[in-house]
Amino acid sequence: MSSIDLVRAAEIAIEHAKQQGMDQAEAALHQGVGMSITARQQDLETVEKHNDAQLVISVYKNNKTGSASSADLSEDGIRSTVDAAVSIAKYTGVDECLGLADKALMATEFRDLDLYHSWNLDISNMVELALECEASALQADKRIANSEGASVSSYSGNAVYANSHGFLQDSAGSQHSISCSVIGADDKGMQRDYWYDSNRNPALLADAGSIGRRCAQRTLRRLGAKQISSRQAPVMFDPLMAKSLVGHLMGAIKGGAIYKKASFMLDKVGQPILPSFVCINENPQKLGGANSSMYDGEGVATQEQRSLVENGVLQGYVLGSYSARKLGLQSTANAGGVRNLNVTGTEESFDQLLKKMGTGLLVTELIGSGINMVTGDYSRGAAGFWVENGELIYPVEEITIAGNLSDIYQNIVAVGGDIDSKGNTECGSILVESMTIAGQ
């Protein structure tokens, strides 16, 4: 189905909801196609083709709401889905905060944000890339004993959002990736690790060979891992792991958690929650960004940039229209989440941060999700490297790191300039002054 067909489908859905006497209605439609292949031990293992379509319709009547979804985008299917939502709305409770986002907040400017790039590969081309990626990893060192495979994927789709304010927009986007995971072995045991790259634009992906070699290097450096004894020590999260700390903070400042009083960041707006050298900005309109859009999931116009944390001080919460009304505030155009976060700090290099830490733990993998968002208590399994005198001494595993997120954020010593820009968050390594490490 083309984007033109999706637009017509959205029009049918909104029109039918009005005919059914609804006060308001909104429709989100998506259609996408993609393919992913996996090669293992230099042989093609799987080929998956994706072709999906979905309509989600929400209707509002007398402060009641009903929602329904369907993959049937025929006219009859669309009307049937709307009818289901209308039926549901008759039985739901009254909530005065329900409804579309305010009409005055709807986006009216729609720039091309460079979100769609095709990747003209057939299956044989994709297999060739995967084989090259895995071969580079397998040939890197004789200690690379096995492979969990290399994968290449490509996906592109169209999306339409429409509501009864008269808002109707369509957009196209793409996402492409190459990844690899291998197993290393020596006389002390076996270890695995991975590496990948992803981008909307395939021309910006790292080459397959370099991804495979990086994967092998990461695996080899983990060989000989051991436990350490329990202690208090500085902990440094590498860029990939540091993003999880940012993610926990975003979850804690979401409107839903705030109005339910289920967040350790309750009543923290205007207060320092991070050291004064840390800033976190949202960049919803970043060209080619992983989550860029001129409007949020309710049609509300996004800003070019929004400061979430400025010089350590929390500037505001992350709100869609419902949570904003619950809190007596205005939507921040975050229906659907935050978009393209950028974290800045002290900007040291990775090696400079290790020197600054001196002795402590470098975390390169986190396991489990032992986080209490109400209290901020934090406990997760971890693996990484023990560091002494700013140098990696040996790999460690089977340990747990723990603390309270409020304390962890306040005790950040540095945020590096070794930025990983993949995905929705750009962030360097984060060095925390001290955490509890549970080991032997």
The confidence score (pLDDT) of residue 440 equals: 86
| Distance from C-alpha of 385 to C-alpha of 437, rounded to nearest angstrom | 13
pTM value is: 0.94
Q: CB within 8 A of 190, min separation 6: which ones?
A: 145, 183, 184
The confidence score (pLDDT) of residue 369 equals: 86
The confidence score (pLDDT) of residue 296 equals: 98
> Which residues of the chain are in CATH 3.30.2290.10 domains?
3-32+48-103
Average pLDDT over residues 202-225: 97
Q: Name the one residue in this structure whose structure tokens are 């005065």.
A: 96
Q: How far is CA 326 from CA 264, 316, 365, in A?
A: 18, 15, 38
* Model confidence pLDDT, tens digit, residues 53-65: 999 999 999 999 9
The confidence score (pLDDT) of residue 4 equals: 59
Q: Given pLDDT bands bounded at 50, 70 and 90, which one contains residue 2?
A: low
Q: Name the one residue in this structure whose structure tokens are 């039926």.
A: 87
Q: Which CATH superfamily is domain 3-32+48-103 in?
A: PmbA/TldD superfamily (3.30.2290.10)
* Model confidence pLDDT, tens digit, residues 260-269: 999 999 999 9
Where b means 16+ CB within 10 Å and e means fewer, 302-325 reads beeebebbeebbbbebbbbbbbbb
Q: CB within 8 A of 120, min separation 6: which ones?
A: none
- Mean pLDDT over all residues of the chain? 97
| Distance from C-alpha of 209 to C-alpha of 130, rounded to nearest angstrom | 9
The confidence score (pLDDT) of residue 415 equals: 98
The confidence score (pLDDT) of residue 348 equals: 97
Q: How far is CA 361 from CA 234, 283, 412, 414, 420, in A?
A: 6, 32, 14, 15, 20
* Model confidence pLDDT, tens digit, residues 258-306: 999 999 999 999 999 999 999 999 999 999 999 999 999 999 999 999 9
* Model confidence pLDDT, tens digit, residues 345-382: 999 999 999 999 999 999 999 999 899 999 999 999 99
Q: State CA 337 to chain mean position distance.
A: 9
* Model confidence pLDDT, tens digit, residues 104-162: 999 999 999 999 999 999 999 999 999 999 999 999 999 999 999 999 999 999 999 99
| Distance from C-alpha of 129 to C-alpha of 150, rounded to nearest angstrom | 9
The confidence score (pLDDT) of residue 89 equals: 97
| Distance from C-alpha of 380 to C-alpha of 204, rounded to nearest angstrom | 34
Q: How far is CA 268 from CA 308, 319, 413, 440, in A?
A: 12, 15, 21, 37
